[in-house]
Amino acid sequence: MPTVFIYRGMRFHFFANEGDPREPMHVHVESADGEAKLWLYPRVQIASNFGYNRPQLSQILRIAEQRRGEIEKVWNAFFSTGA
């Protein structure tokens, strides 16, 4: 599970096996409070949520939007290696 970054105890990551065929670009967020999956296109949005409340989801969305370029870069680098 490649970690993209950790922000205030929330780990933004994706799985090495993201389906076959691979799902569209997204990121998973995990912390002691819950787990969420965010689609990155056409806009950053919640795909699923288990445990996070509205303020936490707003923060997660904001962070993912601000760092979308970084998430994309890590995703593309990882999957371009044939993983």
46, two tokens: 């919640």
pLDDT tens for the chain, residues 1 to 83 = 899 999 999 999 999 888 778 899 999 999 999 999 999 999 999 999 999 999 999 999 999 999 999 999 999 999 887 55
Among all chains, which residue has been given the structure tokens 């490649």?
2
What are the sequence ranges of the domains in the chain? 3-79
What does the pLDDT read at residue 45? 97
What does the pLDDT read at residue 82? 58
Whole-angstrom Cα distance, residue 45 to residue 48?
9
Asked if 12 and 3 count as a contact pair (C-beta separation under 8 A), the reply is yes
What does the pLDDT read at residue 58? 98
What does the pLDDT read at residue 71? 97
